[in-house]
Each structure stands twice: as C-alpha cells, then as structure tokens.
Amino acid sequence: MNRALAVLALAAPLVACGEPDAPAAPEPAPAPSPLPTEPAVAASAGLGPAGSTPPRYVGRWAASEGYCAGGAWTFRRDGLSTAGEVSCDFEGVAVVDDGYEIAARCVAESPPTPHRMHLSFGPGDRTMVVSGGPFANPPPLIRCGD
C-alpha cells in the first residue's frame, strides 16, 4: 500500500502539468509590401485609375514571334499569366528609371508565394526583360502584334 501511495505522490505533479505544448506552427512567409507609386509619376506611366493609359508592359509578349500564337505571356495592369502555367497578381507597381518594380504573389506549380520582379524595356518598348519573380533566367521578350 505504501508503494502505491508513493507512486501516486510522484505521478500527481505530472498530471497537474497537463499535456506538453505542441510545437509551434511555422510562421507564414511575409506578404510582399506594396511598392509606393507617386501619383504624378503613376499617371504619366499609365498606372492611374482604370480607363487611363495602360502601363507599357500591358499586352502579349513572347520569346519570339513564333511563340506569339500559343506561347505568349499575357501582362495585365494587375498581373500576368504565361503559357507555362505561371500566374501572378500584382500587389504593388512602382515606376523606376528603366521600367517597373513589382511586388507580386505568384503561383508556379506551388501555393501562392510573394515575389519581386523588375521589368525593363528596350528601344521603342518593343522588347522587355523580366528579372526576378518565379522565373529562372527568362528570355528577353518581344511585344506580340495584337
């Protein structure tokens, strides 16, 4: 009997502690912070309200004219989609000296993830280079005739 009381006396503090804390869930990745856009610069770059002049990147772009029919990337004011099943929603667009800096949330065979990308343009806005984002070394793009 004394032995049973001793076991109970040792077990009582453990019962009072309750269950151990579960491991903390990992913190979600921070959302990209929207990029600031000066109103005067935004209006002149086509980033103003819907119905104003669209930004230079809006349209269909491809690695060559041969891809314009079935492999073009479609850039909208608020996002992009590719024939390779990548899509991005633009959460902030800022005009910079050679193009645009964009905070985006992209889906590329994975859950949506935050990205930053840079769009720069060649002479006459006929070519565009995309840097960053979910793309690994994308080719320079040419504007497709719409």
* 95-144 residue pLDDT tens: 999 999 999 999 988 899 999 999 999 988 999 999 999 998 899 999 99
* 30-83 residue pLDDT tens: 444 555 544 444 444 455 555 578 999 999 999 999 999 999 999 999 999 998
Q: Name 125's Cβ contacts closer than 8 Å, sequence gap at least 6.
A: 56, 143
CA of residue 146 relative to chain centroid, distance? 26
Query: So where are the chain's domains?
Result: 32-143
